Amino acid sequence: MKRRDFLGVSMIASAAMFTNRFSQSAEARIEVLTGEPIGRIAPEIYGHFVEHLGGVVYDGIWVGENSKIPNAGGIRRDLIDALRKIKPSVVRWPGGCFADSYNWRDGIGARGERPRRPNFWVDAPEWPKNAPDGPWKYDTNQFGTNEFLRFCQLIDAQPYLAANLRSLTAKDFYEWVDYCNSPAGSTTLAEMRAANGQREPYKVRYWGVGNESWGCGGNFTPEEYAAEYRRFSEWVPRYGLNLEFIGSGPNGGDLAWSRRFFARLAERGGFGRMAGWALHHYSWNVSQGRTSDWRQGKGDAVNYPVEEWYELLYQAGIMESLITDHWAVMGEFDRQHRVKLVVDEWGAWYKPGTESHNTHLLGQQSTIRDAVLAGLTLDIFHRHADKVSMANVAQLINCLHSLFIAHEDKFVLTPSYHVFDMYAAHQGGQSVRTVFSAPRSSYNRNGVRASIPGLNGSASLQGNQLILTVTNHDVAQTRETEIAVRGATINEISITSLTATNIHEHNSLDNPRAIEPKTSRIEARSGGPFVYRFPPASVTRLQMTMT
Ligand code: AHR
């Protein structure tokens, strides 16, 4: 492939990228088939994940009521405001691996009297040098169930709580459900909840039954986990709610985990109130001469060669086959597909070294590459809207694929935040089939030629609005693309584009607005196909008004 340095390619305003006529020269084509629905895009696909890990809770979300940093009852105000704008739908808490060492009782009652406990991650080898002790290592439990559920109320999101299956009992779990959901005044725990400031039940619907039970969540076999899953989830009082249990699913492509668990559950007659099967998939580079060990194989978040740009997007694209492969296995036992996939951890994971502060374990910078990865992944979820009922990007702030970076009073929106903002228009829409054809982007993987699709995307309908989102993966090529919408006439197009002046660009605490989306509005002069030139290394949303 002829490649030119992306550095120095100037950003062209969206309007200049649009032609309202047929183009002989278009090298790529997108067809939107408005008459071929796939499924409703669950707003929960736009979910988040909060773990007591490094700077996620302490410094990220929780600044404390007496802080000079603007806050609502101790919760960072800037974060609340920015989250409300992108309609966060659901937040998973308190882990992750942390969840299977967490006792919910430690985090309720007067804050001054809560116990201090070693955090699950206290000994992690990834801690930045000279990281001081503090609540990130020895949890002071200032942020517990009430604080988290208050956070969800403030941002208008559903809570999704992960039960401790490895180190607490099923009875402890039932009592957590009682504390959160039993009617006002009905039980001793409901009275404790009222004494802690919340008389009415929180009505928590989503409950995760363990986390990574094949690993940090207990190192179980699928059969052992199936027995635990049943013990935890059967006969839990509903308190009038439609509780949705989410099973701890596979690590990436481990189909045996899915098959053996579903087979064991099917032996006892079915899936009960299991609504979701959790899949985790992180993207990291393992190809450029590194070992496949997940701790060793990671690349840098900011200083990467072009090959790593492509390889990371290749890793992200694997999400599509993970969804279809696990779905097929689940269907061998759950023929009606009552249980959907919940991708409750996804994103890019880099080696340590770009964190904004030495208390931010697994903190990393987030460049335009991460924005493209986010768009690519969300588009995959839309294309499988019939299979994926929830997804949670890992993790919200100061951690892996974060939408925010914050330290003390500084607060930054990462390029991935802007993608969530641009893509929010898809929430609740009807996903429709799209056909993309574009030249592939080639690169060198350990001396062997490899390639990934040049363009990726999805479309959805909502009323008279058609949303088409597209990622251009190529670091150098603008893609002139003919776009044909079948079954509808377009009369106005609003185009929002996110790109950068170089492929390493990012928003930092010192330069927080280096990357921001640009919007332009265009009148469509004919009902036919039109041409749009997608800038290199970009994420674009075309919002079309149909007649
Ligand atoms: O997100 C960081 C960790 O990655 C989570 O705690 C765990 O579930 C996964 O392995």
Domains and CATH numbers, the chain: 3-39+432-546 (2.60.40.1180), 42-427 (3.20.20.80)
Compute the distance from residue 281 Cα to the ligand 1 centre, in Å.
Answer: 10
If you take atom 2 of ligand 1, which residue's CA is the nearest one? 96
* CA 395 to ligand 1: nearest atom: 1
Q: What is the mean pLDDT of residues 491-516?
A: 95
Our answer to whether residue 345 is catalytic in this structure is yes
Ramachandran region of residue 29, left (φ > 0), alpha (ψ -120 to 50) or beta?
A: beta
| Contact partners, residue 169, CB within 8 Å, separation at least 6 | none
Atom from ligand 1 closest to the CA of residue 211? 8
**CB-based pocket (< 6 A), ligand 1:** 51, 95-97, 211-212, 345, 394-395, 400
Structural Rg of the chain based on CA atoms: 23
Least confident segment among 21-25, 138-142, 315-319, 457-461: 21-25
pLDDT of residue 270: 81
The residue whose CA is least distant from atom 9 of ligand 1 is: 96
pLDDT mean over 230-238: 93
Q: Of 212, 244, 311, 482, which is the active-site residue? A: 212
What's the gap in Å between 246 CA and the centre of ligand 1?
16
Residue 446 confidence (pLDDT): 82
Query: Taking the CB of residue 401, how many other CB atoms lie within 10 A of it?
Result: 26
For residue 1, what pLDDT band results from cuts at 50, 70 and 90?
A: very low
Mean pLDDT of 405-425: 98
CA 228 to ligand 1 centroid distance, Å: 20
CA 118 to chain CA mean position, Å = 27
Residue in the structure block whose two tokens are 């500084």: 410
Q: Which protein residue has the closest C-alpha to ligand 1 atom 5?
A: 96
DSSP 262: H
Residue 37 has pLDDT above 90, yes or no: yes
For a ligand 1 pocket test, name from 48, 91, 97 the mutation site with the most ligand atoms within 8 angstroms of its C-beta.
97
pLDDT, residue 521, reads 83
Residue of the nearest CA to atom 8 in ligand 1?
96
Separation of alpha carbons 371 and 129, rounded Å: 28
Q: How much of the chain, in percent, has pLDDT values that exceed 70?
A: 93
Query: In degrees, to the nearest 5, what angle opens at C-alpha 371 toward C-alphas 472 and 426?
Result: 80
Q: What percent of the chain has pLDDT over 90?
A: 87
User: Residue 5: its pLDDT value, please?
Assistant: 24
Per-residue model confidence as pLDDT tens digits over 511-531: 999 999 999 988 776 668 999
Confidence class for position 18, pLDDT limits 50, 70, 90: low
* pLDDT tens string 267-309: 988 888 899 999 999 998 765 555 555 455 789 999 999 999 9
Residues 500 and 275: their CA atoms lie apart, in Å, by 40
The answer to which of 17-31, 158-172, 267-281 has the lowest mean pLDDT is 17-31
Distance 514 CA to ligand 1 centre (A): 29
Average pLDDT value over all residues in the chain: 93
Q: In the prediction, which pLDDT does 523 show? A: 74
**What's the token pair of residue 62?**
């929780």
CB-based contacts of 124: which residues, under 8 Å, 6+ apart? Answer: 361, 362
DSSP state of 440: P
* The pLDDT of residue 20: 55
Report how far ligand 1's centroid is from the alpha carbon of 95 (Å).
7
- Name the residue of 49, 101, 212, 398 whose CB sits within 8 Å of the most ligand 1 atoms, as the mutation to test its pocket: 212
Interatomic CA distance for residues 528 and 22, integer angstroms: 8
Strands 28-40, 340-348: parallel, antiparallel or unpaired by DSSP?
unpaired
Determine the 3-state secondary structure of 377 from DSSP.
helix
Whether the pLDDT of residue 9 is over 50: the answer is: no
CA of 258 to the centre of ligand 1 (A): 19
Alpha helices in 318-436 (DSSP H): 319-333, 368-383, 415-423
Confidence of residue 14 (pLDDT cuts 50, 70, 90): very low
What's residue 3's pLDDT? Answer: 29
Distance 51 CA to ligand 1 centre (A): 8
Residue 212 CA: which ligand 1 atom is closest? 8
Q: Are 69 and 115 in contact (CB under 8 A)?
A: no
pLDDT digits (tens, 9 = 90+) for 112-164: 999 999 999 999 999 999 999 999 999 999 999 999 999 999 999 999 999 99
Residue 19 scores a pLDDT above 90: no
Determine the pLDDT at residue 48. Answer: 98
**Residue 147 is among the residues annotated as catalytic for this protein:** no
| 415 phi and psi angles, rounded to 5 deg | -55, -30
The encoded tokens of residue 425 equal: 């228009």
pLDDT 10s digits, 427-479: 999 999 999 999 999 999 888 999 999 999 999 999 999 999 999 999 999 99
**pTM, full prediction:** 0.94
44-56 pLDDT tens trace: 999 999 999 999 9
DSSP-assigned letter for residue 302: S
- Atom index in ligand 1 nearest the CA of residue 282 equals 4
Pairing verdict, β 430-437 and 28-40: antiparallel
Measured N-to-C along each axis, helices 306-317 and 319-333 cross at an angle, to the nearest 10 degrees, of 20
Tens-place pLDDT, residues 350-403: 999 999 999 999 999 999 999 999 999 999 999 999 999 999 999 999 999 999
pLDDT at position 200 is 98
| 2 vs 314, more confident | 314
Active-site position among 51, 228, 345, 355? 345
Q: Is the pLDDT of residue 259 over 90?
A: yes
Atom of ligand 1 nearest to the CA of 217: 8
